[in-house]
Amino acid sequence: MQTAGNEDYLPLDPEQLYCVATDSYILSYLPMAGEMLPMLKIVPKDSTGGNPVENLDDLIVYSEDGGEQLKVWQTVVEYALMQPVANPDFPKFHPATGHLWDG
């Protein structure tokens, strides 16, 4: 995780595959981003061998029951639920005001 400081900054490695979660709408715009910004080459690749994917529909992930497309918000919620219980020393904020509160 990169903080606001520069001491832990790591540049992107052009040879490294990075896992990205997005929806099909945003994914459909990625090729256009590469055309508008040639120095930003974005090539969707498969997870098995890093091979470029021509048909973006091949990247759609379906729910485990094989039914509907898995939604990005579902994966974020599931990931958050898998995290360990928060540090008890972590500051608590009142949900309505955003101010620190005691409990």
Q: Give the CA-trace dihedral at 65, 69, 71, 74, to 10 degrees.
A: 0
Task: Report if residue 48 sits inside a domain.
Answer: yes
Task: Kindly give the confidence (pLDDT) of every residue in the chain, 103 residues in length, as a single tens digit, with 9 standing for 90 and above.
Answer: 566 677 777 787 877 888 887 888 888 888 788 788 887 778 888 888 889 998 988 888 888 887 888 888 888 888 878 877 666 666 666 666 666 665 4
The rounded distance, in Å, linking the Cα atoms of 17 and 49 is 10
Token pair for residue 76? 């974020």
Task: Report if residue 7 sits inside a domain.
Answer: no
Q: Taking Cα atoms as reference points, which of 50, 31, 27, 28 lies closest to residue 40?
A: 31
Judged on CB neighbours under 10 Å (0-12, 13-18, 19+), 95 is: exposed
Domain range spanning residue 47?
24-82
Task: Report if residue 36 sits inside a domain.
Answer: yes
Total count of domains within the chain: 1
